[in-house]
Amino acid sequence: MRNALFEIRPIAGALGAELHGIDLTDDLPAATVRAVRQVLLDHLVIFFRDQDLSPERFLALARGFGTPIEYPFLKGIDGFPEIITVSKLPDEKVNFGGVWHSDTTYLQEPPMATLLVAREVPEAGGDTLFANQYLAYERLSDGMKQLLAGLKGVASSAKADSSRTREDRIRSDGSAEARRLLIAEHPAVRTHPETGRKALYVNRAHTVGFAGLTEKESAPLLEFLFNHQIRPEFTCRFRWEAGSLAIWDNRCGQHYAVNDYHGQRRVMHRITLAGGRPV
């Protein structure tokens, strides 16, 4: 598909599109930013290839789409507190983000979107999977939708699956508040503030239970939802190259960094954009 400004190449039926014909190293006209943002709303995650973005340019690009915020547990790179390094080194076995999640849902106002640019990638492996949470909600039975309508998920920064993926990074690059416990309650089903569509909004990395229920009582329902929301027909897969950039909508999607490149190096830079309180 092509509009007047760039080419759109969907990569899967559920979500995801590559955009071609845009040079992100230059300031983008307002019309292009609006068009890219619409493609993001339509496809939930968008990708660009061969973008040589300096930290300055990466941050300027992010500001064109929202307000960059600092990650609560890691220090940013020198001179750019909003940009964190997401890396796995050859001697490491656990990767950052190697669990299905939407970013930092333990915040009272989780980020609306995330930008991730690849600096170094392994010869093979290190792909990222994405899952459409609109579809995950829409494919539930009417009875399950009714049940979830009254529930709030409790998200915690201390959940074990999440903590393990960032443990080494905190030891080496942790911020002054790296051990702070963050907890937030959000609707199990949220309404996207721009599209008006409903999306399933629990995730395996951070959701520990439902408000008003014990963790043990919550566990069977959460386990069903965690498995349901990543069904293959809801997903797409992206293979990174150095200079690849992804932008994804955290309000209606989840992602998972595949850990299949032991002994190799993978280095990315990430920025998250401020969001609002889920409703």
Question: Per the residue annotation, which of 192, 251, 266, 270 is the catalytic one?
Answer: 270
| Active-site option among 37, 101, 166, 169 | 101
Cα angle for residues 16, 19, 24 (degrees, 5° grid): 125
Annotation marks residue 101 as catalytic: yes
Is 228 among the residues known to form the active site? no
The residue behind tokens 């399933």 is 200
Closest listed residue to residue 254, CA positions, set 190, 194, 164 = 190
Measured CA distances, 34 to 18, 41, 60, 66 (Å): 16, 11, 16, 12
Residue 270 catalytic? yes
Contacts (Cβ under 8 Å, ≥6 apart) of 3: 35
Of residues 169, 255, 266, 269, which has the active-site annotation? 255
Options 43, 103, 190, 269, the catalytic residue:
103
Please answer whether residues 229 and 101 qualify as being in contact, where contact means their C-beta atoms are separated by less than 8 angstroms. no
Catalytic status, residue 180? no
Helices (H), the chain: 30-43, 55-63, 133-138, 142-149, 160-173, 215-228
Question: Which residues does the annotation mark as catalytic?
Answer: 101, 103, 255, 270
